[in-house]
Amino acid sequence: MMRSRWWSFGFRSTIMLYFIVLIILPIIGIYTQAFTLGWGPFWESITDPLAWKAVLLTIKLSVIATVINMLLGTMIGWVLIRYRFPGRRLLNSLVDLPFALPTAVGGLMILLLLGPNSFVGGLADNLGFQIVFHEPAIIVAMVFVTFPFVIRAIQPLLEEMDKSEEEASYTLGASKARTFFQVIFPSMLPGILSGSMLAFSRALAEFGAVVLVAGNIPGKTLIAAVYIFGEIESDNTQGAAATSVLLLTLSFLILWAVNLVQTRRADK
């Protein structure tokens, strides 16, 4: 019994130490660095026009990428669970590729696919608009790195869904569209919401894929993560920390909302 208690205590202590060293202390360090010179310099840093535009641009493009992933992820998750076709397992395994692939490689792939020397990039130039080094390329990069979140969030819900409710709806004369929106969709909604919020939070922090395709033009295509990197290179750690606090606080709020959605789903 004593050995079991010591083993349990050691295991829990190791987990808590890991959590404190790798998560809690860095977060405290960012907040401390942001306010190390007081509230005045912090406020000046976050209200700097370049910083403010970078944060607003990041939020705007993250919202667009999240909406795209919400729609595509729901459809792809539905197809992967409800249909059987050749190559389904391969497609299902490729969903997790953005998690395994370095984001810089993903950015290079987008650059080669949509750049000026590519077929798609050349076609876009002929039509009078550009993709790479403009906002569309940033959205594509954000969609790529956040692609799996919605899909993986709704797949377990579809697998656990009681098909008797769906069959009962058909038996009562409901159409496929009505059955989907009144029976199936409410069961999928918690996964869609939680996956979308995680995708949004991830898009806010993306750096590797975006830095290669954005152009990083201040006030136009400079997003928050790249702005923070530039401030670090300029030896303005307080300014970088202040902008990081904005993104970190927003991510905390998103994670709290995800936890709330999952808790309500578990209570039901």
Structure tokens, 144:
């790529």
* 39-49 as b/e: b if 16+ CB within 10 A: eeebeebbebe
Query: Tokens 């927003």 correspond to what residue?
Result: 250
pLDDT higher for 266 or 154?
154
Q: pLDDT at residue 68 above 90?
A: yes
The per-residue pLDDT for 252 is 83
Structure tokens, 66:
């999240």
Whether the CB-CB separation of 137 and 110 falls below 8 Å is answered with yes
Q: pLDDT at residue 265 above 70?
A: no
What pLDDT, in 10s, does the model give residues 97-114? 888 888 888 888 888 888
Calculate mean pLDDT across residues 181-186.
82
Nearest alpha carbon to residue 215 among 137, 150, 127, 122 = 137
**Distance set, CA 159 to CA 5, 80, 95, 175, 187 (Å):** 38, 10, 17, 22, 11
* pTM, full prediction: 0.84
Structure tokens, 233:
């290179």
Q: How far apart are CA 10 and CA 129, in angstroms?
A: 60
Calculate mean pLDDT across residues 111-126.
82
What pLDDT, in 10s, does the model give residues 189-212? 888 888 898 899 889 888 888 888
Helices (H), the chain: 2-19, 25-34, 39-46, 49-82, 88-94, 97-100, 103-114, 119-127, 135-145, 147-160, 163-171, 176-179, 185-204, 208-213, 224-233, 237-267
The per-residue pLDDT for 115 is 81
Nearest alpha carbon to residue 254 among 207, 200, 191 = 200
What pLDDT, in 10s, does the model give residues 77-90? 988 888 888 888 88
To the nearest whole percent, how much of the chain has pLDDT over 90?
Answer: 12
Give the range among 30-34, 109-113, 125-129, 133-137 with minimum mean pLDDT: 125-129
